[in-house]
Structure 1
Amino acid sequence: MTIYNTLVGVCAGLVLLTVADAVRRYPHVVFPGHSIALLITGGPLTVLSVVGALTWPLTVKPPINIAFFEPSVMLGFLALVGAASLLHRGDTPFERATIVRIRPALWIVFTIGLMLISIASAIFSYNLVGDAPAGEPLTSRFPGWENPAFGVSYLLAAAGCLATPRSELIAARFVMRWSWTLSGAFFLLFSILNYRTHIGLLENSNGAHYRW
């Protein structure tokens, strides 16, 4: 089994948290820090997501290629473009006119939100994520939570994307900030946990019997 949802998940979570923090600081953003963070996370996110989306089937559960890696490709490219844009812009505040000028690009984010809603519906309808394999330490001990947790996280991320075209409004920025903060924190923490559990799964596949 080959899978990159450890580092991809960490980078995706950090991108969402970085953008949420930028939204929180509107109209003033610490551009150097945010752009550097987006560059560092957007690079591996893009490369590994492209590999995951193009390699078929990458895992023992091929639908995960669609549900996880394809949105991550778009997120990675957006992170890199956003980093380049912030570096070029310099330390200047956003204005309402700026948002109006970049609105065509914001509709791309809106479309990603529709993708995430469609994926979330598949997660709930088909039990797409399911429970951790029996050989995976720790997470396999608590069945029944991963699928709904991922479905809700995708819906939260989608809510922020759908609000993006109206980001000049306070209410839209509130939705963007908190939906991406919560979903980003989930993806980040779950993917960090996967480093332990996936290593344990590989050890158990070699004949060990670790449960925690």
Structure 2
Amino acid sequence: MVVYNELVALTAGAGLLGFAAFLAQLIKGRRIDSEGWAGFFAVAGTLLLALGIHTTVTWPFGGGGFEYANIAFGQPAAGFGALLVFAAVYLWRHRSLYAGPAEDANSATLAAFKPVGIFVGALGLAMAVLAITFVRFQLGAAPAVEPISGRFGHLPILEALFLGGLWGVVALGALLFAIALWTDRPQLLRWAVWAWVIGGTVFLLFGAMNFYTHIGMYYNIEHGTMHKW
């Protein structure tokens, strides 16, 4: 089974943290480096879009009841990747806008993001449903052969609560973002920033840890060992 959810989680975490930082600069009225942010969003968005679409249409996670991961990981990654690519294109095409007064550029950016906020909210709704699904069906338990995570595999509710909580925090940020733009309540954007900072940090650390735990799992399988840490 060839999977790459390590890179997906790592990039999603970086993307969430990056967009949270970008949004914080917008609402604080700071000058935006449009070319720099366009480059960042293009890199993160392209990776997530490509890997998310591949996961969605090929279902590389297979066997042992793990097929749900193709839906829970692949489809949100594809959607988030597309949104980041949109942000990259917008910022690159409107470079001259950001050379002018910061207040004008920032207000124009939020206005331009309002239509796509509908999809952000829709993706947030999907993430909220996935969060409930993780907990309801106690999904996500690591096999015993996987280091660190596998030590808690006999308690599936623990990882289900962790994944459900993580998806839920990101969903909250997405819903707040959409509501803030469509109800003209910009004060809610600060809470969206905090939700994505928390979710992005956890995603980033979780993805980094998985480079270790997944390689350790394959090592244990290949060599018949049971390294727990």
Query: Any conservation in 2 of the 1:32–1:87 contact (CA below 8 Å)?
Result: yes
Separation in structure 1 between the aligned mates of residue 74 and residue 112 of structure 2, nearest angstrom:
30
Contact kept, 8 Å, 1:20 with 1:180, in 2: the verdict is yes
User: Larger deviation: 167-176 or 11-20?
Assistant: 167-176
Contact 1:2 1:59 in 2 (8 A): no
3-state DSSP of counterpart to 2:187:
helix
Matched, 1:117 2:128: yes
| Number of positions where the alignment pairs a residue of Structure 1 with one of Structure 2 | 211
Q: Percent identity?
A: 29
- State how 1:4-83 maps to structure 2 within 5 Å: 4-26=4-26, 27-28=29-30, 29-56=32-59, 58-60=61-63, 61-83=66-88
Structure 1 contact 157–183 (Cα < 8 Å) conserved: yes
Structure 2: state its 5+ residue gaps: none
2:213 alignment partner in structure 1: 197
Q: TM-score, normalised by structure 1?
A: 0.92
Q: Normalising to structure 2: TM-score of the pair? A: 0.85
Q: CA offset at residue 175 of structure 1?
A: 1.5
**Whole-angstrom CA distance in 2 between matches of 1:191 and 1:58:** 16
Equivalents in 1 of 2:106, 2:24: separation in Å?
A: 15
- Residue in 1 that maps onto 2:194: 178
CA distance in 2, matches of 1:96, 1:200: 48
Match of 2:162 in 1: 149
Instruction: Tell me which residue corresponds to 1:208.
Output: 225
Report whether the alignment pairs 1:161 with 2:166: no
Paired letter, 1:120: A
Matching residue within 144, 156, 170 for 1:134: 144
Q: Residue 203 and residue 95 in structure 1: after superposition, are their counterparts in 2 closer, same or farther (change >3 A)? A: closer
Which shows bigger deviation, 51-60 or 102-111? 51-60
**Post-superposition offset of 1:32:** 2.4
The 1-side partners of 2:207 and 2:109 are apart by 35
> How much does 1:33 deviate?
2.4
